[in-house]
């Protein structure tokens, strides 16, 4: 059975390339048959990773793309006011509906240069921030203004993580969707719904398949990174 949170399939445009990623060139030479080599791969002799059948591969890939790029219309979304053409803001607009529906959980990482010339950076729980705005909580991000281009998205000390590059002050906060996890000197988040660990490091990690990391080059914000986690039902 295909795992909904397995983002690895999005690396490949077709099933042939997907199977090829598990195969070494010398294996084709030794087995003298591409069909035999593929059969060996499907039996799992070369990897501990689940190998999908062709129909599972395409179904999983299609479902993941639909979650990351929902086409259905949903009312009462701040993104319906989208006027900004900034790539990062447009990407967040596309993710609002599945985040509100708890199908997708997105963490935002951005770093901003202040008027003082010093940077601030932070991780933001997107759904938590949207909810705070909808409830008109004090200090909440005004997402309608963000999507309309009237205001800038800015991390604060109330978000998942905040760092002031001038003072060196750093803060961590659990959100309604995530707990802070410090593991071997690196930062991770644990989703409270399905208890999956979300690594934010670029280094190889045991939990890397739990998240898809996407970079956006923004003329306003510079580099913005979105960490997308497909929410699974807790077992």
Question: pLDDT at position 202, please?
Answer: 81
Q: Report yes or no: 111 and 215 within 8 Å, Cβ to Cβ.
A: no
Q: Which residue has better confidence, 117 or 47?
A: 117
> pLDDT band at 141, cuts 50/70/90?
very high
Q: Which of 70-84, 91-105, 146-160, 217-231 has the lowest mean pLDDT?
A: 70-84
- The residue-averaged pLDDT of 134-146 equals 94
Q: Is the model's pLDDT at 229 over the cut of 80?
A: yes
Q: Enter the pTM of the model.
A: 0.71
Task: Calculate the alpha carbon distances from 113 to 52, 120, 142, 164, 221 in Å.
Answer: 45, 7, 20, 10, 9
Q: What pLDDT is attached to residue 35? A: 54
In degrees and rounded to multiples of 5, residue 111 shows phi and psi of: -130, 125
- Is residue 74 predicted with pLDDT exceeding 60? no
Name the percent of the chain lying above pLDDT 90: 54
Quote the pLDDT of residue 203. Answer: 82
DSSP 73-125: --SS-GGGG-----HHHHHHHHHHHHHHTTSEEEEEEEEEE-TTS-EEEEEEE
pLDDT at 30 over 80: no
Mean pLDDT of 86-115: 94
Find out whether 211 and 225 touch, Cβ atoms under 8 Å. no
Q: Tell me, what's the pLDDT at 40?
A: 44
- Rounded mean pLDDT, 64-77: 67
Question: Is the pLDDT assigned to residue 78 strictly greater than 90?
Answer: yes
pLDDT at 73 > cutoff 70: no
Judge whether residue 172 has pLDDT over 60.
yes
**Who wins on pLDDT, 46 or 76?**
76
Percent of residues, the chain, with pLDDT higher than 70? 82
Residue among 230, 231, 234 nearest 65 (CA)? 230
Band (48; pLDDT cuts 50, 70, 90): low
Q: How confident is the model at residue 76 (pLDDT cuts 50, 70, 90)?
A: confident
Q: What is the mean pLDDT of residues 176-197?
A: 90
């Amino acid at each position: 059975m295909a795992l909904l949170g397995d983002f690895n399939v999005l690396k490949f445009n077709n099933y042939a390339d997907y199977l090829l990623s598990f195969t070494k060139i010398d294996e084709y030479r030794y087995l003298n048959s591409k069909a035999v080599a593929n059969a060996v791969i499907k039996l799992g002799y070369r990897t501990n990773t689940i190998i999908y059948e062709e129909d599972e591969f395409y179904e999983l890939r299609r479902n993941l793309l639909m979650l990351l790029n929902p086409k259905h219309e949903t009312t009462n979304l701040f993104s319906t006011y989208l006027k900004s053409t900034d790539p990062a803001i447009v990407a967040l607009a596309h993710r609002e509906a599945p985040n509100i529906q708890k199908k997708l959980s997105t963490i935002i990482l951005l770093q901003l240069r202040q008027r003082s010339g010093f940077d601030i950076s932070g991780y933001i729980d997107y759904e938590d921030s949207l909810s705070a705005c909808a409830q008109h909580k004090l200090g909440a991000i005004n997402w309608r203004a963000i999507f309309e281009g009237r205001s800038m998205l800015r991390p604060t000390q109330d978000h998942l993580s905040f760092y002031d590059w001038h003072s060196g002050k750093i803060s961590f906060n659990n959100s309604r969707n995530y707990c802070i996890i410090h593991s071997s000197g690196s930062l991770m988040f644990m989703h409270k719904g399905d208890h999956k660990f979300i690594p934010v490091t670029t280094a190889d990690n045991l939990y890397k398949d739990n998240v898809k990391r996407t970079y956006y080059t923004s003329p306003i914000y510079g580099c913005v990174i979105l960490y997308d986690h497909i929410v699974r039902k807790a077992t």
